[in-house]
Amino acid sequence: MTPAVPLLLRLRRAWDRVAVYLPIVLMGVMAMATYWLVRNTPLTSAVELEAAPRHVPDYFMRDFSVKVFDAQGKLKSEIVGTEGRHYPDTDTLEIDQIRIRAFSADGRLTTAQSVRGLVNSDGSEAQLFDKAVVVREAMHNAQGVALPRSELRSEFLHLFANTEKVRTHLPVELIRGARDRFTADRMVYDNLDRTMQLHGRVHGTIVPRQAKP
């Protein structure tokens, strides 16, 4: 029985040595396991941060008027609406019961209105939806030539302020002066070039001017 005692003592001493280093070994194993989990866990925060912004207005305006003046303090344009909603994802302003007044360089007045409008951030484009009407009032130019009143009507009109163009892909009606009338399925109007392109089923009525006695 005596030989077994030294063996037990040696085993106990060996266990004591192992027990001293066991916490360090466990901490190392836990650290390696944590590192493995971090490396293999899918990242979701980046995806959430890059999610596309929602088309939700960030501010409202009610019964408002926005006016733009030139360097001399003369009114260039005015936009009026019953309610306006700004959408930050597209940087556009949607306006209910929109009304627009704009003056050209020669002072000619153009008005526009519709049930709903969409204006971009710098005001260079305006889209008019539902019962859209654009009117250029009559005037005499610098040479004394009479420019007749003209009126455009459609369910959609796209206005470009910088290039002075009006487009529509829907049926349109043009009334020029008192009795001239044109209709078409689509239209592109260029005020700078004084040209109008009518497409689709085009119909026109031109009443001859009566000679002055």
| pLDDT higher than 60, residue 187 | yes
H-helix or E-strand spanning residue 147? strand 146-147
Average pLDDT over every residue of 152-158: 96
In this predicted model, what pLDDT tens digit does every residue of 7-42 receive, in sequence order?
Answer: 556 655 655 554 455 455 445 545 554 444 445 545
pLDDT at 63: 95
In degrees, rounded to 5, the angle at the alpha carbon of residue 205 between the alpha carbons of residues 202 and 207 is 160
CA 104 to chain centre: 25
- For residue 23, count other CB atoms closer than 10 A to its CB: 9
* Reduced 3-state DSSP string for 48-102: HHCCCCCCCCCEEEEEEEEEEECCCCCEEEEEEEEEEEEECCCCEEEEEEEEEEE
pLDDT at 192: 82
Whole-structure pTM value:
0.69
What letter would DSSP give residue 137?
Answer: -
Cα atoms in the Cβ-side hemisphere of radius 13 Å centred on 75: 13
Name residue 121's amino acid.
S
How distant, in Å, are the alpha carbons of 41, 54, 63, 125 from that of 51?
20, 9, 34, 28
pLDDT at 54: 80
In this predicted model, what pLDDT tens digit does every residue of 102-124 receive, in sequence order?
Answer: 888 778 888 999 999 999 888 88
H helices of the chain, where?
4-40, 45-49
pLDDT at 169: 96
| pLDDT higher than 60, residue 44 | no
H-helix or E-strand spanning residue 180? strand 180-184
Tokens standing for residue 127: 């889209």
